[in-house]
Amino acid sequence: MLFKVRHAFRRYLSTSSASYAPKQQISKLLIANRGEIACRVMKTANRLGIQTVAVFSDADERSLHVKLANEAYNIGPAASQQSYLRGDKILEVAKRAGCQAIHPGYGFLSENVEFAELCQKEGVIFIGPPASAIRDMGIKSTSKHIMSEAGVPIINGYHGDDQSDERLVQEAKKIGFPLMIKAVRGGGGKGMRIAETEADFMSALQSARTESMKAFGDSAMLLERYVRSPRHVEVQVFADHYGNAVYLYERDCSVQRRHQKIIEEAPAPGLSEELRRQLGEAAVRAAKAVNYVGAGTVEFILDKEDLCFHFMEMNTRLQVEHPITEMITGTDLVEWQIKVASGEPLAVSQEQIKKTGHAFEARIYAEDPAGGFLPGAGPLNYLSTPEPSNTIRVETGVRQGDEVSIHYDPMIAKLVVWGENRASALQLLIEQLRNYQIAGLQTNINFLIDLAKHNHFQAADVHTGFIDQHMDSLFPIKKVPAERIAQMALAYVLNENATTRKSFNRQNPFDLELDFRPNYTPTRAFKLKVGDTEHQIELRSKDVNFEVRVDNGEWLLINATRKPHPNRFLLQTNINGHVSCFNTVIENGSIALYDDHGLTIAEVVQPKFLQSEAGLEGAAAGSVLAPMPGVLDKVFVKPGDTVKAGTPLAVLIAMKMEHVLKAAKDGVVKSVPNAEGSNVQKGAVLVAFEQ
């Protein structure tokens, strides 16, 4: 009863203040974010004639969003807690620069109640919903009560204030297993765990609490019945200060990893127009229940079998995947945000909003899909993207030569495509993923190609457990053919010859293309590592004709030429009349070949004596290595400790996620080379053991 009274009073205050909607022309806008979304907002602002102000951390001083802005200001160190999450600093910059408004993008301060209230207090327009709506929808337990009152279906669960272990265990037994444990203030998969059985519950609860406290400063949890094969369908809503609200159809975001979206599409496939209308109207009721203003997304769990839907949560901000809604509705949601925030009413009614065609968005990440989608970081030594058009968008905040930082989300870009129907849009997505070529760090592009080509995905047979269900077919053991390995070996040798000739004026005795030839054909031998397998290469040549043997197999006669281009070269080969052309990048002994199957990488194996000199040989055998770049948050052991297999050794923080590293076997700790709080690179020794 007390909840209803409090909520009714908040709604009264919000409704009373609706007439005080800002009516101010926005001529200068600060974007309180970084990377891709900052660049995206600037693009629309520039088109509207609005000047933009960027903020940046020490790590982002040379970033693209800084270059694109009219003005830019440093707001602190790389750590987001000391820069992008410092609302006081950002508001100070906005006032100093003469900005009438702040656009928070997504993440960081976009759903921060205190920041929204501070903006209002200081007379700066916050381009987002009222603070009361952020508060109501940001606390999942509160949002469930409000949605239930508004007639929006909710899923069975526990959303109470009693957070004792005893009460949560009791409620979990009532709900039954499996169940979902969620951070009350969560988002982006953080603070979320699945307890399959009662025996799993306490460990999952503690893990979710720890992660939630780190990410949101709050360890409160809610419990929900876990639907095993749900679809994740969300509805884009938009509302103004005058009580008008519309929905712009729905998106299917079912295919996820680590509870985070990876490919989204709009509209959701396989829904009847009646169900589509019901979802949209429920989303509008949800928005109106909290007097929402601006762009928001109401997320639903859609049962894959009976297509019943239940409210999951509301994201009170612009979503990462908003471009696919724009593609099918012909709208610019950022323009709508700016105009509504400045006091203009919505320019369209529900009847005027039409959808056309189908759109996909693929998120391109620095990560290792086969290694559990562990996030990565590193330099973008080579970057070639599809050409933007009316049907293709590349949303990014990086350029060739930039670095994906360990301090922030590992997303490199979003590839967005539109087609007249789902089949044509999906084919265009696959084609353009092949044209997205990156060297210098590991990405998920090959995985995205395999995912988009998967027969169940092609048939729109999707749900949130899609990747786990199809793990074997999505991650098959791929045998690289001898012809491809031979082509990579040739790419390496031809590139080495060209660079050696340029550097040493053709004095390299190993150059296989010198004009002078002895009366015998020399054979060169070396090793290439592709994946986890080393291959023995033997190679001999005459002019542009080569003989190559892989792993003592048949000798392959190959005609090969190298055509240089900036930062890359084209390798053309002819094997028994089959001509192939590869975009190729070689750097620091790494060979990257791009074709219709995506990227294939090989590493030139150093001789044993060079490995010993570098101190590399045997390092992994007695050490626990960093699986990705990150910050060493905690170390639980010291030299001389005896540990058992499975013992937690250290905690690595990377891309805002916590990773506990455990001992693979029994042993005695020899050394701990890095101190807590230090930045470490991928492959760095964290804990060394006695041999």
Question: What residues are annotated to the active site?
Answer: 317
**Tokens representing 581?**
């052309």
Q: 285, 151 in Cβ contact below 8 A?
A: yes
Query: What is the C-alpha R_g of the chain?
Result: 28
Q: 417, 441 in Cβ contact below 8 A?
A: no
**Tokens representing 3?**
């909840």
Q: How far is CA 122 from CA 50, 98, 101, 118, 135, in A?
A: 21, 12, 11, 6, 19
Strand pairing partners for 419? 358
Please provide residue 281's backbone torsions phi and psi, each rounded to the nearest 5 degrees: -70, -35
**β-bridge pairing 28-31 and 101-103:** parallel
Q: Could you give the CA distance from residue 582 to residue 598 in angstroms, rounded to a whole number? A: 11
**Three-state secondary structure readout of 554-565:** CCEEEEEEEEEE
Closest CA to 630 of 677, 688, 689, 687: 677
Q: Could you give the CA distance from residue 60 to residue 403 in angstroms, rounded to a whole number? A: 10
Tally of helices (H runs) and strands (E runs) in the chain: 19, 39
Q: 629, 671 in Cβ contact below 8 A?
A: no
Q: How far is CA 608 from CA 185, 536, 627, 642, 683, in A?
A: 52, 14, 24, 31, 19
**β-bridge pairing 598-604 and 590-595:** antiparallel
Q: 265, 274 in Cβ contact below 8 A?
A: no
DSSP-assigned letters across all residues of 405-430: -TTS--EEEEEEEEESSHHHHHHHHH
Q: 488, 593 in Cβ contact below 8 A?
A: yes
